[in-house]
Structure 1
Amino acid sequence: MEGIDQEMFEITNEQWKIIEDIVGVLEPLKVTIMTLSEEKMPLISLLKPLLWQLVSSHLKVKESDSDTARSFKESLSNMLCEQYNDYNVKLLLQIATTLDPRFKSFPYVTEEDKNIVSSPIKEMLTKLIQEESGDNISIKTEDETVQSKKTRVSGMEFLLGGLCATKAGMPAEEKADLEIVQYQSESVAPLDNCPLQWWFKVSAKCPNLAKLASRYHCVPACCAPPTRIPADIQIQYNTKRAALPPHLIDKLLFLHGNHTMQM
């Protein structure tokens, strides 16, 4: 470092103290980023518990904090709260976390949060049940036509048919309430378990709620922008992508463009 004044790089004891405070405040954020990077499937349902833990515990001002650490913690907490303050974003994160079996009994869920997500979840689940029952109308009509051909009435039907009338199907709202209650009664999944595997095992008890949960558990918690991907990884990706044969690319493009069409 010839020609450069060495004194300009000297750090005083007061400046070292400031650096130590900053490093100490940023330590929980470092652990958060490492935790997300180590997860096999870092889903969006992780964000709400992590944000709550950061703001309420790790970034909470303590009496032993210096003025620098106190100011830095307040700035970071305000920045995180403002970043996720949009109503639609909060609703998305809360629904995804509510449908994650690992965080059903976490203390961060307030009564306000429960009221925010209870109505949208029930509405979406009811609509999904109605759509599923609408697909089975044609099957039911075929069964009814077959039964209508049976003209002979048995003795039991003749004598007790009025008392044992067939009850109509359960309304979609009641089915939605039953599945939500069944989901809440299930045991909490361990933190190291995959929520998708948990829902796969419970799908027989809550089939429609499992379909709704899959819509939210396909969203990743974080995604690195292309500018931050290392150059060698980009070259490997482009090389593998270029190795795809043209006929396979045509099929992939066709499926991507037509997967939403109904027959």
Structure 2
Amino acid sequence: MQKAMRDADLPGLSCMAHTLQLAVHEGILSQRSISDIAASGRRIVGHFKHSPLAYGRLEDCQKQLGQPVKKLHQDVSTRWNSTFYMLQSLVEQKLALASYAAEYELPCSFTVHQWKLIENTITILAPFEELTKEISSSSASAADVIPCVRALTRLLEKTVETDHGVKTAKSVLLDAVQRRFADIDAQKLYTIATMLDPRYKDRYFPEALRPRFHEQLQNILQTTNQPDPTTSTVEQPSSSKSTVTTPSACSLQAMFDELVDEVAGHSEEEITIISQVSQYMAESVLQRSSNPLAYWQVNETRFPALAKAARAYLCSPCTSVDSERLFSTAANIIDEKRSRLTPRNAEMLIMIKRNLPFITGR
């Protein structure tokens, strides 16, 4: 897909969810101590997955302890968050596993130190799991990338009590995140989309860089709001033409006009755009739970140039998750048992499947 984008000379961005997965694998799952407990966790989960009798005994232990009957989560090597869910399910069933191991044999077990390491690892990975869910939604856009990376980096830089035993892994994880997202400020789509999102604006950029990004936004607005060259200019009535006199280039009046033009420095259109950007940036940001598209629908008359640019930039997703879900939907509808399904009917079924939640609200 990346090669197709390059060959077609189309601008493209990397999938943020995939970049996060690479950072997690490099930063924490590659650590020897953590990879060892993950491998032991797979053996424990596999023991129950391959034995209905063992699962029945585990359920009996859960009932005796008054815990809800739950199954352990099996991880998948290609999805880091599945390893997170596996470790989380092991911690939830810690007492039930101890009760099971007292009467039956397990392929391996965890020490007190390893259980503590699992809990601290879950604490480190929890923000990544939360962030992955958020950016994988159908409403996520390219405007979410820079604020999410800034917040994630600041969180990893803080020192907390749960860092015991995982300080090195956390440091390596922070380095991996910073390296993977080192060039996000250089991506124009990210910066413009972030500033056009009323939940973020310029608040997530260093103060020294804000003037540069403001100028970049103004240039984009001037480009997108250029008048159509094919539109003919409406001629003024002949009577008005006769009343307007152009002063001579060597006259005193010409000097007055020249001085005024030098001080102004901008055309009327440029001044309008600059004032829109200044007023928009001066207002407070919205809550993160707000809908940025609804904001622009309401404020389109106040900031027409910004609203026009927002329609172009806030539609860009930050991950390929939603498009991959669409492919999965098509694969579930078109299979060997529905070989006589026409392309038109298949397209309509996919359209209904993907858009019905937006209509029903579920």
TM-score w.r.t. length of structure 1: 0.69
1:94 matched to 2:186:
no
Q: Which residue of 1 aligns with 2:127?
A: 28
1:191 matched to 2:288:
yes
**319, 341, 344: which one aligns with 1:244:** 344
Instruction: Please list every run of 5 or more consecutive structure 1 residues that lacks an aligned counterpart in the other structure.
Output: 163-167, 249-263
State how many pairs are aligned: 227
User: In structure 1, what is the Cα distance between the partners aligned to 2:326 and 2:269?
Assistant: 47
**3, 6, 14: which one aligns with 2:113:** 14
Alpha-carbon RMSD across the aligned residues, in angstroms, is 4.0
Q: Which residue of 2 aligns with 1:175?
A: 272
Contact 1:42 1:221 in 2 (8 A): yes
For residues 119-157 of structure 1, what are the alpha-carbon distances to aligned partners after superposition, in whole Å with 9 as ceiling and x for unaligned? 21111112233x226454x0x2x333xx12x5898xxx7
Structure possessing the higher relative contact order (Cα contacts under 8 Å, 6 or more residues apart): 1
1:56-71 equivalences under 5 Å are 56-57=154-155, 59-62=156-159, 64-71=161-168
Instruction: Please report how far the alpha carbon of residue 218 of structure 1 lies from its aligned counterpart in structure 2 after TM superposition.
Output: 0.7
1:46 matched to 2:175:
no
For residues 182-209 of structure 1, what are the alpha-carbon distances to aligned partners after superposition, in whole Å with 9 as ceiling and x for unaligned? 3224453332222122112222222222
| Compared CA separation, residues 134 and 80, structure 1 to 2 (3 A) | same
Contact 1:43 1:219 in 2 (8 A): yes
- Amino acid corresponding to residue 10 of structure 1 in structure 2: S
- Amino acid corresponding to residue 212 of structure 1 in structure 2: A
Q: Which residue of 2 aligns with 1:253?
A: none
User: In structure 2, what is the Cα distance between the partners aligned to 1:28 and 1:77?
Assistant: 13
**129, 132, 143: which one aligns with 2:235:** 143
User: In structure 2, what is the Cα distance between the partners aligned to 1:217 and 1:16?
Assistant: 43
Identity of aligned residues (%): 21
TM-score w.r.t. length of structure 2: 0.52
1:207 matched to 2:304:
yes
User: In structure 2, what is the Cα distance between the partners aligned to 1:22 and 1:132?
Assistant: 56
- Amino acid corresponding to residue 125 of structure 2 in structure 1: L
| Compared CA separation, residues 204 and 152, structure 1 to 2 (3 A) | closer
1:120 matched to 2:216:
yes
Contact 1:47 1:93 in 2 (8 A): yes
Contact 2:300 2:307 in 1 (8 A): yes
SS at match of 1:192: coil
| Compared CA separation, residues 128 and 225, structure 1 to 2 (3 A) | closer
User: In structure 2, what is the Cα distance between the partners aligned to 1:218 and 1:235?
Assistant: 27
